[in-house]
Amino acid sequence: MVIIVQARMASTRLPGKVMLPVLGKTILAMMIERLQMIQHKATVVIATSVNPEDDIIEQEAHSLNIPCYRGDQNNLLDRHYQAALQHNADVVLKIPSDCPLIDPQAIDRVLTYFFDQTVTPDYVSNLHPATWPDGNDVEIMTMACLKQAWENAEKNLELEHTTPYIWENPQLFNIGNVTWETGLDYSMSHRFTIDYQEDYLFIKRVFEELYPINKNFSCDDILDLLERKPEIYQINAGYAGVNWYRNHLNELKTIQPEQTKQAPVSQ
């Protein structure tokens, strides 16, 4: 089983975001540390581009003793497939590098669901529909499923975002979804992902508050912190619900307008 973390320096809204500092480490290093806390056994691979500006990503991977695959900047589907192929993966997890606060327990819950099914699903996520706070994105697929997408996907959004071909074609795949066990839906109200400067300030503050006390802090610990210190929640609250879907509503059959929001006008 391989966890593939897509990472690159080029970002129109927050360039170099994965290498921003938090408590003397990088955002990417903090995220890798959280991925290594899961109970299931998996190999973590960083998948970046061949572009020269991403040399620093490869250097960071080496410093973390994590394998690094380099491929096409824009074809993330090919990058994931080739990285999985290189590491002889039978099961592939896609977890983007903009989720540094991802809860290891959320990953384990989705994995447990995947492995507990009588018939192995092709694809399982906690995103369709999403219920966890944004930034706890877990997508699991068999290698055969990823290969089928790689062979057949043609649209730019399918290549750029890796998995839309799968979840947009439920008639072709055995698809499962895991909802947050609380019964709540914070996917549009709580933002733990990084895409804007305010996100970085929020994530940095959460790590500064929780990491020194318990490195393996959970989603519940973050929510408790936000209850105690609502000013932290407000740092990036204006971007809650903003995700990439907003740019592709006319192309996505399974995504509804209420599942995304436009960024504030100032951006």
Q: Is residue 260 assigned to a domain?
A: no
**pLDDT, mean of residues 5-31:** 95
**Which two structure tokens, joined as six digits, stand for 187?**
């996917």
**pLDDT, mean of residues 112-126:** 97
Q: Per-residue pLDDT tens for 132-164?
A: 999 999 999 999 999 999 999 999 999 999 999
Output phi, psi for 64, to 5 deg: -90, 0
Asked if pLDDT for residue 130 goes beyond 50, the answer is yes
Distance CA(217)–CA(63), nearest Å, equals 24
**pLDDT, mean of residues 76-81:** 98
Look up the domain containing 75 and give its range: 2-254
**pLDDT, mean of residues 84-112:** 98
Asked if pLDDT for residue 78 goes beyond 80, the answer is yes
Q: Per-residue pLDDT tens for 177-230?
A: 999 999 999 999 999 999 999 999 999 999 999 999 999 999 999 999 999 999
Q: Is residue 264 assigned to a domain?
A: no
3-state helix, strand, coil in the chain (%, to 5): 40, 15, 45
- pLDDT band at 267, cuts 50/70/90? very low
Res 60: pLDDT: 98
pTM over 0.85: yes
DSSP code, position 208? H
What CATH number should be reported for the domain holding residue 97? 3.90.550.10
Res 12: pLDDT: 81
Q: Is residue 266 assigned to a domain?
A: no
**Which two structure tokens, joined as six digits, stand for 164?**
């839309």
Counting residues of the chain whose pLDDT is more than 90, the rounded percentage is: 97
**Which two structure tokens, joined as six digits, stand for 109?**
């819950």
Number of domains in the chain: 1
Q: Is residue 263 assigned to a domain?
A: no
Q: Is residue 70 assigned to a domain?
A: yes
Sign of the four-CA dihedral 121, 99, 246, 109: positive
Distance CA(79)–CA(56), nearest Å, equals 18
Average pLDDT of the residues of the chain: 96
Number of H helices, E strands in the chain: 10, 9
Q: Is residue 262 assigned to a domain?
A: no
Q: Is residue 265 assigned to a domain?
A: no
Beta pairing, strands 43-49 & 91-94: unpaired
Q: Is residue 148 assigned to a domain?
A: yes
Res 266: pLDDT: 58
